[in-house]
Amino acid sequence: MSTATDRRAPDDQVVPGETFTPPGGRSGRDALSEMSNPHRARAVKDVVARVVMWAAFALAMVPLVWILGTVVAKGFHMLTTATWWTGNQRNINSDDFGGGARHAIEGTLQMVGFTALIAVPIGILTAVYLVEYGRGRLAKAISFTVDILSGVPSIVAALFIYAVWVTAFGFSRSGFAAALALVLLMIPVIVRSTEEMLKLVPNELREAAYALGVPKWATVVKIVLRTAFSGIVTGVLLGIARVMGETAPLLILAPYTKNFQRDLFNGNFPTLPMMINQDRGDFALATAAERMWGAALTLILLVLLLNVIGRVIAHFGAVKK
Amino acid sequence: MSTVTGVSAADQTPGPDRRRPLQSDTASTGRIGDRLFGGAATVSGILVIVLVTLIAIFLIVQAVPALMDNSANFFTSRVWAPGGEQPAFGILEFLWTTVTASTIAMVLSVPVGVAVALFLTQYAPSWMRRPAAGLVDLLAAVPSIVYGLWGLIAFAPVFKPVQSFIEDKLGWFPLFAPTGISGGTICFIGVVLAIMVLPIVTALSREVFDQTPTAHKEGALALGATQWEMIRTAVLPFGRPGVISASMLALGRALGETIAVTFLVSALADGNPWSWSLFNGGETFASKIANNASEFSNPNKTGAYIAAGLVLFVLTFVVNSIARVVIERRKAFTE
């Protein structure tokens, strides 16, 4: 790669003390040094472009540093309080300090775990269909709808589940209903990442299995999926991380509670995003703001932890050629 | 990574060995195991189609009765009073706010996102590329509620003087007319959305820029092009479809972004005068629905919100379909 883009390499061959004139035009650096050179404008443009690209990257880093910096600076001391990892928010009002986040952490983990339980098999099987079986119209249609599903806004997914679960079936809002909405958001992520991984499995492995008379299903299950296993796990973890921070479905479908609550099917359900949302109206109060930042930091840490684990697994378990 | 965007740019491409994966025509070879497993895979795939179809059907079915009872024009009215004997509701304000804020987000994030992608693929020293790309992806890993929180508490006070400066200097222009609202203006929401969708634009653009054939790039350089000229003549034309579809996906995300907007938005009072100003408040589809989740008391009221959600669904559907079509055409072109 570097030889392709490094257009300065020939310059290094100039013998000191000798004037070197490139046969065609001149490269940017030469032109810059000679004011009379007609290619000066081009060279200036080149330098300007270079500066703009670096500046754009620096600009993109500003919000990242700012957001992470603020969250850590304002939220970290909450994570070191005694009750944060053990208690809940029971009887704690906006103007009270602290309280615990354990109910929300457990709730979030339980909800995304349940979501993954439904979404992962569907997602992986769909990817298996697309890569190993699918051909023609049906496969095209499925691939297209997966794209559409990945573009469905979370609020629309939530409205759909509301329309089915609450309006049509008459159930009440619950953690389970929110998990169903998260399933819709998670499926396309799992399908796409699994698909990529299955495509990386060398055909020789499949051919070898077929040549030995292994049935197709066993080839897929025991050879293809096993080879791609670590990549699939990575995709699943990234998918979980993705839905973990989703708030819109929770807002519509799973009202928050400040208490411990393990029951996904009845009553309100505590989650980290909703814990942040709870104090939204009182963000001017220092105690409420602190709690929001603390919960935000906890949520980011959970998401990052999943991302890191996912990438480590991807790194050590990549498909070998 | 394609998981950032949820869409892979290379669906049908052969594997690293340049051969297509082995495929059989049917899911079953007659063996019981094959029938079960192939059947399960097919059913899962069909289930996805069914789900997407059901989303459309359920939203339409529950929106229609409310729309029939609506006494105002759904598309041109700015009133939102879905309850009561004479429900009247229209989406004009949400449509304006949603589309304008998303447009601002696009105007800001596409040039910067493409520049960052060019930086990551063409300019950055090779030791820096992977970690730098990881940092940009990190921006995508930040949950949107955190963007909302940050925008509300940390960014809004910083943006305020910028807004008053523009209002002072350019206030005569209708788009920048002062409205007395600061904080959750359309413009501010657009800027926050721009930051949120930046990693989407960058991720997919980076993917396509990376695939520019080395021969194109070397050819341009051999003809004496500067690095920028090489990018303009080889990399950008090759990557254009990818950039367009990346922008469309980002637009889809911006249109539907809920919780960050809900945190930031300043709702307007009923009967407020119409203003073209970008410094006006106003709810987006998503924030209006999210803010009123507790109001879903009777079917007609819920129906009105579902109708608004349906419009949002159609908007994002169209935008995502365009992205998909552009990617498909590129594939046909390169194969």
Rounded distance between C-alpha atoms, residue B1 and residue B133, angstroms: 10
pLDDT tier, B298 (very low <50, low <70, confident <90, very high otherwise): confident
| Residue A52 pLDDT | 95
Could you tell me the pTM of the whole model?
0.86
B189 in any annotated domain: yes
- In 3D space, the residue among B162, B178, B193 whose CA is nearest the CA of residue B277 turns out to be B178
Kindly report the CATH number assigned to the domain that includes residue B157.
1.10.3720.10
Rounded distance between C-alpha atoms, residue A318 and residue B1, angstroms: 15
Q: Which residues 281-300 of A are in CB contact (within 8 Å) with B? A: 283, 289, 292-293, 296, 299-300
- In 3D space, the residue among B253, B139, B242, B136 whose CA is nearest the CA of residue B193 turns out to be B253
B64 in any annotated domain: no
Mean pLDDT of chain A: 86
| Inter-chain CB pairs, A–B, below 8 Å | 353
Burial profile A304-315: b = 16 or more Cβ within 10 angstroms, e = fewer = eebbeebbebbe
B78 in any annotated domain: no
B17 in any annotated domain: no
B261 in any annotated domain: yes
Which residue range(s) make up the domain with B260? Answer: 2-7+87-295+310-334
CB contact under 8 A, B152 and A283: yes
Tens-digit pLDDT profile for residues A158-189: 999 999 998 889 888 899 999 999 999 999 99
CB contact under 8 A, B306 and A159: yes
Tens-digit pLDDT profile for residues B221-249: 999 999 999 999 999 999 988 899 899 98
Amino acid letter for position B50: V
* All structural domains of chain A: 22-79 (no CATH), 102-316 (1.10.3720.10)
What sign results for the dihedral spanned by CA atoms A69, A75, A77, A81? Answer: negative
| Residue A152 pLDDT | 92
Q: Which residues of A touch B263 (CB under 8 A)?
A: 280
Q: Which residues 49-88 of A are in CB contact (within 8 Å) with B? A: 49-50, 52-54, 56-57, 59-61, 63-64, 66-68, 70-71
Q: Which two tokens stand for residue A222?
A: 């025991």
> Complex ipTM, two decimals?
0.85
Rounded distance between C-alpha atoms, residue B154 and residue B145, angstroms: 14
Question: Considering CB atoms only, which of B2, B33, B42 is closest to A215?
Answer: B33
In A, minimum Cα distance to B34 occurs at A217
* Across B102-108, average pLDDT: 96
CB contact under 8 A, B150 and A66: yes
Rounded distance between C-alpha atoms, residue A286 and residue A96, angstroms: 9
Q: Is A308 an 8 Å CB contact of chain B? A: no
| Residue B175 pLDDT | 82
In B, minimum Cα distance to A9 occurs at B221
CB contact under 8 A, A215 and B305: no
| Residue A3 pLDDT | 43
The residue length of chain A stands at: 321
Alpha helix locations (H) across A201-271? 203-211, 216-218, 225-227, 229-244, 248-253
CB contact under 8 A, A70 and B55: no
Mean pLDDT of chain B: 85
Say how many domains are in chain B. 1
B125 in any annotated domain: yes
| Residue B222 pLDDT | 94
Shortest distance, CA A61 to any CA of chain B (angstroms): 7
Q: Which residues of B touch A217 (CB under 8 A)?
A: 31, 33-34, 36-38
B39 in any annotated domain: no
B174 in any annotated domain: yes
CB contact under 8 A, B62 and A54: no
pLDDT tier, B10 (very low <50, low <70, confident <90, very high otherwise): very low
Tens-digit pLDDT profile for residues B17-70: 555 555 544 556 667 888 889 889 999 999 999 999 999 999 999 999 889 888
Shortest distance, CA B233 to any CA of chain A (angstroms): 13
